[in-house]
């Protein structure tokens, strides 16, 4: 889990020119090429356990995004003041403080959702995505880049949570956006969509094996899309080389 985005100037704490290409690469890596859930395969424990429906995935996704953004930005801002010997304990302390604040906020304002997500909120502290981005990126880059990387990685992970949660909810219950009131209040009960009338349910989709099977299909789809794109790129290179050879002849 390495990043080559950082320059020597940034690692030493001196200003460096930030180009749009850097942010574009960070965006593409976070959402697709280096997606935490589909490529790095990090955070699989909450990914499997929480995604029984769309709203659960949304709740954990937002908590993860907020934790990533705050912790990565703070770590990047103080990285030059932390010695290498104690950097990991300091990173964990910062992350734990952020997660504790988020947990208290969820307990105060989204108690039912907090009760459902349970232990997986405090366990964000040990989520490999958070500490991984802190060590691999935030500790080596400017706060602006660390913020953007955290946002893109968080969104990328959340999209996997939402997709898997939505698929499992549809297959298990025949609904979508069920229990939206846990996040948006009683008025959101009307957001529930019943896709199939008198649906009997598909128990496997609601159980942990269903999460593994669903994630496996998502991985297969991503790999298929990547293979198709690589084939197209290869064809473009061959065609360009052929045209260049013809022009020289």
pLDDT tens by residue, 59-99 = 999 999 999 999 999 999 999 999 989 999 999 999 999 99
pLDDT attached to residue 45: 86
pLDDT at res. 240: 86
pLDDT value at position 68? Answer: 96
Nearest to 57 by CA among 169, 219, 143: 169
In contact, 215 and 49? CB cutoff 8 Å: no
Instruction: Judge whether 150 and 141 are in contact, CB under 8 Å.
Output: no
Specify which residues 175 forms β-bridges with.
194
Q: What is the pLDDT of residue 158?
A: 96
Low-confidence ranges of the chain (pLDDT < 50): 1-17
Question: What pLDDT is attached to residue 249?
Answer: 65
Q: What is the pTM of this model?
A: 0.87
Cα–Cα separations (whole angstroms), residue 145 to 4, 25, 67, 77, 141: 13, 11, 16, 11, 6
């Amino acid at each position: 889990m390495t990043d080559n985005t950082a320059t020597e100037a940034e690692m030493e704490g001196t200003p460096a020119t930030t180009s749009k290409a850097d942010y574009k690469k960070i965006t593409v890596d976070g959402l697709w090429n280096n997606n935490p859930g589909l490529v790095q395969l990090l955070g699989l424990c909450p990914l499997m356990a929480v995604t029984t429906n769309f709203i659960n995935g949304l709740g954990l996704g937002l908590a993860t995004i907020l934790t990533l953004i705050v912790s990565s930005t703070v770590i990047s801002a103080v990285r030059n003041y932390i010695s290498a010997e104690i950097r990991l304990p300091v990173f964990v302390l910062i992350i734990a403080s952020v997660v504790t604040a988020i947990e208290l906020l969820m307990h105060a304002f989204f108690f039912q959702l907090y009760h459902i997500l349970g232990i997986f909120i405090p366990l964000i502290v040990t989520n490999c995505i958070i500490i991984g981005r802190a060590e691999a990126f935030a500790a080596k880059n400017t706060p602006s880049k660390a913020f953007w990387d955290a946002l893109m990685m968080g969104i990328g992970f959340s999209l996997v949570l939402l997709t898997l949660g939505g698929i499992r909810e549809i297959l298990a219950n025949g609904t979508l956006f069920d229990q939206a009131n846990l996040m948006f209040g009683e008025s959101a009960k009307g957001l529930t969509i019943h896709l199939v009338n008198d649906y009997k349910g598909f128990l496997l989709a609601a159980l942990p094996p269903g999460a593994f099977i669903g994630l496996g299909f998502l991985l297969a789809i991503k790999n298929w899309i990547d293979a198709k794109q690589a084939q197209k790129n290869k064809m473009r290179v061959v065609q360009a080389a052929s045209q260049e050879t013809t022009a020289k002849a």
